[in-house]
Amino acid sequence: MVSYGPWIQLFIDVPRETWERSVDFWTAATGWAASEPRGEGGQFVTLVPADGPGWVKLQAVDGPPRLHLDLDDPDRAGATRRSLGLGARPQWEYEGVPVMRSPGGLFFCHTVEAPGRIDRGDPLRVLDQVCIDIPARLWESETAFWAELLQRPLTKGREPEFAFLDGGAALRVLLQRLDDESGEVRAHPDFAVADRAEETRRHVALGAEVEGVFPWWTVLRAPDGQVYCLTERDPATGRVRRAPSS
């Protein structure tokens, strides 16, 4: 049996000053309800799907929008040692949670929540994938780091700038090699959508702006500044469709 490593939670970190608008936008965009705020400043919410645990969360931060991952493992100490051995860099701790950065600079945390399964009950859309954007100079080392850390099989995409880490029923991980050599590794969320043109119109009506349209995906920017994509993948499976919709 294939082991898919830790359950991944995707945190969309949004500027504190846009918090209320961000919660409104992301709940509407995903179609999920927001949990009650938690944290000492009410800075965390979970986006709750119709069935099963939430895997997408929002966090208010002092700074520009970004994304980080929480990696769940019952042996947090062991997982932390393993990530350090692979080249991760410790940053700080928050209530006992180690905050780390990958060798290329992407933030992630070691957490211990129980694993779950992505709810694919909505036939129109699901936010089910994180795309890790890797500057070309870091491609080989960062790809190896995430494959080892997540303990997932690595599959090269049909285009040389893409690779996938199969997650079974968990959050999908897409690795993208950027043409730009500069900067650190970053990430953005991806939706699988049934009708990309119609879904784009819906997101624009919610306040998003279109940044670019490509054969297999559309890049948008949320009102809080977070970049994300609508992709030509089946919401029921997460798999790429044979041909893009018109």
Regarding whether 226 and 129 lie in a shared domain, the answer is: yes
Q: How far apart are CA 94 and CA 42, in angstroms?
A: 15
Contact criterion met (CB below 8 Å) for 115 and 74? no
CATH of the domain at 172: 3.10.180.10
Closest CA to 120 of 241, 33, 239: 239
Residue 61, domain member (yes or no): yes
Residue 1, domain member (yes or no): no
Contact criterion met (CB below 8 Å) for 226 and 232? no
Regarding whether 185 and 149 lie in a shared domain, the answer is: yes
Regarding whether 136 and 92 lie in a shared domain, the answer is: no
From 89, 111, 133, give the residue that closes a domain.
111
Residue 176, domain member (yes or no): yes
Regarding whether 225 and 151 lie in a shared domain, the answer is: yes
What residues make up the domain containing 39?
A: 7-111
Collapsed DSSP state (helix, strand, coil) of residue 209: strand
- pLDDT at residue 141, as a whole number: 96
Residue 99, domain member (yes or no): yes
Residue 237, domain member (yes or no): no
Collapsed DSSP state (helix, strand, coil) of residue 126: strand
Regarding whether 134 and 80 lie in a shared domain, the answer is: no
Q: Which residues of the chain have pLDDT under 70?
A: 1-4, 243-246
- pLDDT at residue 9, as a whole number: 96
Dump pLDDT digits (tens) for 159-170. 889 999 988 889
- pLDDT at residue 1, as a whole number: 36
- pLDDT at residue 157, as a whole number: 84
Regarding whether 177 and 94 lie in a shared domain, the answer is: no
Number of structural domains the chain divides into: 2
Residue 82, domain member (yes or no): yes
